[in-house]
Copies of this chain bind each other. A is one copy, B any other.
Amino acid sequence: MDATGFRRLWDQIAATGRADSGGYLRFSWSAADLALREWFDAQAAERGLRVESDRNGNRYAHWDAGTGPGVLTGSHFDSVPHGGAYDGPLGIVSAFLAVDELRASGFAPQRPIVIGAFTEEEGGRFGVPCLGSRLMAGVVDPDRARALTDPDGTTLAEAMRAAGADPDALGPDPERLASFAAFVELHVEQGRALEAPVGVASAIWPHGRWRMTFTGAGDHAGTTRIPDRRDPMLTFAFAVLAARKEARLAGGLATVGRVEAVPNATNAIASQVTAWLDSRAPDEAVLAEILSGFTAKVKDRAGRDGTGFTIAPESETPIVEFDPGLRDRIAALLGGAPVLPTGAGHDAGVLAAHVPTAMLFVRNPTGVSHAPGEGASDEDCAAGVDALAAVLRDLAC
């Protein structure tokens, strides 16, 4: 399709949930989210697609055809606070356009094609990413989900009821999962790793978050001589730089973005610094290598600083390898499209444990993600629609 055709549909949702920052506030079950769901229903109606919600608030538009399990595509509407326009909605808009392309070419699917819109993928309102797909997969307890609160103290159950949905229905949905023969999620790339218009995901990198505690001796910043100090801020500072260095040498990522000092006073040597390490890598061996190299170097430094250092995991997510057969088939179909991993989580990563799953990425020239600067050219988005249509044709014939 051409860039103009993409832009025409894309512009229909451009104003929905847009903030003065230029970013989006599209929190699940908010007014903006309900407006996007209405738009979804209208798009389905225009195309004669049957609309249905599942028990977890995920919404589907069915192109009923043939027999047996269907081919699922789509993504999510919700955003992080002041997030970009593309992360999520691009996969849904592209799905409707791909259906249009298939129909215009006279294609008659031999199995259902289903467009899905997952709920609370970002965790931007209730704090648990991929909540809709995780509930479906049975890896989040429904009682816990119902009690999750947003920053205003509203529970998910209250927000769902206010939107006319039924929180008592939340729970595992193996029948829904079994109704899909494959899932293909199209998504904007979130870094600058993709240099072609469209790529195919190989895997979601393994990911860990660790809590680090640096302890020392709180003391007077004006009277404690340097040799008498045991300042945990120094060990923390070393750790920030060591994390970057270990990740760079090993070919992974490591970030320290959160820090809390005690007593956090200008004229006091800190008695304790707590900070969090986020690290991701192409495989679990590299992730382990980063962590062990990092830990050894920081322990050594703590010994020299006279401080204490402990590190404990808060979450460790193993690698998600997308279905290799599906991945290779799609890459070949797209004329040898680049195959690349991602460091971000997706509903596709959750469903991959249950359904043969693939992801298509559309190039992001800025590499910005979760911020207004996120982008993709209309030409690349149109190429994404063409690629998705080709994949759906291949899987549904």
Contacts and interface: CB of A to CB of B under 8 A. Distances in A.
Best-buried of A270, A314, A367 by chain B (most CB within 10 Å) = A367
A276 B371 CA distance: 28
A121 to B, nearest CB: 14
Interface stretch (A95-103, A237-245, A287-295): A237-245
User: Can you tell how many copies of this chain the complex includes?
Assistant: 2
A332 to B, nearest CB: 26
Interface in A254-275: 255-259, 261, 263-270
A221 B257 CA distance: 8
Given A190-B223, A278-B221, A369-B219, A257 B253 contact: no
Contact of A228 (B221, B226, B248, B367): B367
Interface in A333-369: 342-345, 367-369
B265 A228 contact: no
A299 interface: no
A267 B259 contact: no
Interface residues of A, number: 59
B253 A226 contact: yes
A254 B219 CA distance: 13
Interface in A150-164: none
Contacts of A253: 221-222, 224-226
Nearest to A207: B222
Interface string A87-105: 0000000000000000000
Best-buried of A191, A247, A257 by chain B (most CB within 10 Å) = A257
A241 B304 CA distance: 13
Contacts of A367: 223-225, 228
B255 A231 contact: yes
A371 B257 contact: no
A61 interface: no
Contacts of A196: none
Nearest to A256: B233
A278 to B, nearest CB: 5
A261 B231 CA distance: 19
Closest 5 CB pairs of A and B: A222-B343, A190-B223, A237-B240, A221-B255, A237-B237
A25 B253 CA distance: 46
B267 A257 contact: yes
Given A369-B223, A369-B224, A233 B257 contact: yes
A55 interface: no
